[in-house]
């Protein structure tokens, strides 16, 4: 099986389309989405439709929860709040119902999907240090725990019995091809695929990952896309200028 892992698309249809075009040539069997399909970007509807057409397995991110009122708008910073209020106006009853039905966690084959921490998925904490990643991996019952939210790609290998942290990979080039041990009794892997629509690791290209269970490899993908078009859509929608500007620098 080849799983495509997408996170934090954030209403950026230009970035999503470029990623999907790249993935289409790579025999993907199943699309997995770790939440924050919407928010910040100007094409939330288009992004939701693409994922539904692919029958992607999806979990809710904090932006979905904010949109349907399960997180108060006061939880978000000013930029996110402005974008969420705009996004709410773009979505119809049908789309809001789709968001309401998204679970906080899901399991698909060897993968557990969550937007942030697996221990407390409803809190949407930023899992940025290895100790917290290991806490989530200890709570994970499958080989892979897939998580987004930080917009920074990352792979952490953990040997359960020895409680030993193996490889910790945080640079995109390190994750171009990462072999994994296909033994769920002994191992756990944390995979953050980075952000499709609003990368924050200094690389403006869209980020996504593939898990190939036959070849036993994880591959990070960085995909250039039409940043200027995504910026123009944000400006035309009247969303905050910073949301357009940051796309050019990947921060």
Considering only the stretches 35-43, 76-84, 159-167, 176-184, report the one whose residues sit in contact with Fe ion under the rule CB under 5 A. Answer: 35-43
Between 36 and 201, CB nearer to Fe ion: 36
Q: Give the CA distances from residue 197 to residues 43, 75, 113, in Å, rounded to whole numbers and listed in that order.
A: 11, 21, 19
Nearest residue relative to Fe ion (C-beta): 36
Distances 122 to 19, 62, 88, 103, 114 between C-alpha atoms, Å: 28, 8, 20, 10, 10
Q: Binding of Fe ion at residue 8 (CB under 5 A)?
A: yes
Q: C-beta of 164: minimal distance to Fe ion in Å?
A: 31
Integer Cα distance of 65 and 101 in angstroms? 11
Q: Give the binding range for Fe ion (CB under 5 A) out of 8-16, 87-95, 211-219, 227-235.
A: 8-16
Distance CA 235, CA 238 (A): 5
Out of 36, 64, 95, 212, name the contact with Fe ion by CB under 5 A.
36
CB 61 within 8 A of CB 33: no
Interacting residues with Fe ion between 65 and 104 (CB under 5 A): none
Tell me how far, at minimum, the Cβ of 54 lies from Fe ion, in Å: 20
Cα→Cα distances 211→3, 17, 182, Å: 5, 20, 11
Segment interacting with Fe ion, rule: CB under 5 A, options 33-41, 68-76, 98-106, 232-240: 33-41
Footprint of Fe ion on this chain (CB under 5 A)? Answer: 8, 36
């Amino acid at each position: 099986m080849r799983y495509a892992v997408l996170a934090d698309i954030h209403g950026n249809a230009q970035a999503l389309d470029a990623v999907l075009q790249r993935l289409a040539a790579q025999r993907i069997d199943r699309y997995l989405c770790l939440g924050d399909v919407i928010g910040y970007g100007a094409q939330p509807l288009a992004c939701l439709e693409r994922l539904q057409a692919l029958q992607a397995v999806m979990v809710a991110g904090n932006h979905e929860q904010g949109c349907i009122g399960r997180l108060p708008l006061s939880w978000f910073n000013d930029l996110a709040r402005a974008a969420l209020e705009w996004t709410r106006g773009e979505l119809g009853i049908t789309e809001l119902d789709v968001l309401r039905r998204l679970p906080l966690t899901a399991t698909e084959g060897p993968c557990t999907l969550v937007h942030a921490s697996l221990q407390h998925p409803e809190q949407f904490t930023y899992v940025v240090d290895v100790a917290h990643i290991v806490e989530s991996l200890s709570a994970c019952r499958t080989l892979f725990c897939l998580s987004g939210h930080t917009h920074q790609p990352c792979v952490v290998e953990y040997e359960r019995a020895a409680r030993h942290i193996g490889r910790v990979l945080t640079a995109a080039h390190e994750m171009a091809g990462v072999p994994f041990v296909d033994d769920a009794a002994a191992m756990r892997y944390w995979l953050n695929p980075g952000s499709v629509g609003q990368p924050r690791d200094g690389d403006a290209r869209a980020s996504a990952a593939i898990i190939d269970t036959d070849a036993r490899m994880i591959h990070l993908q960085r995909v250039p896309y039409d940043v200027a078009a995504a910026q123009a859509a944000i400006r035309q929608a009247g969303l905050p200028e910073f949301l357009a500007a940051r796309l050019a620098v990947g921060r």
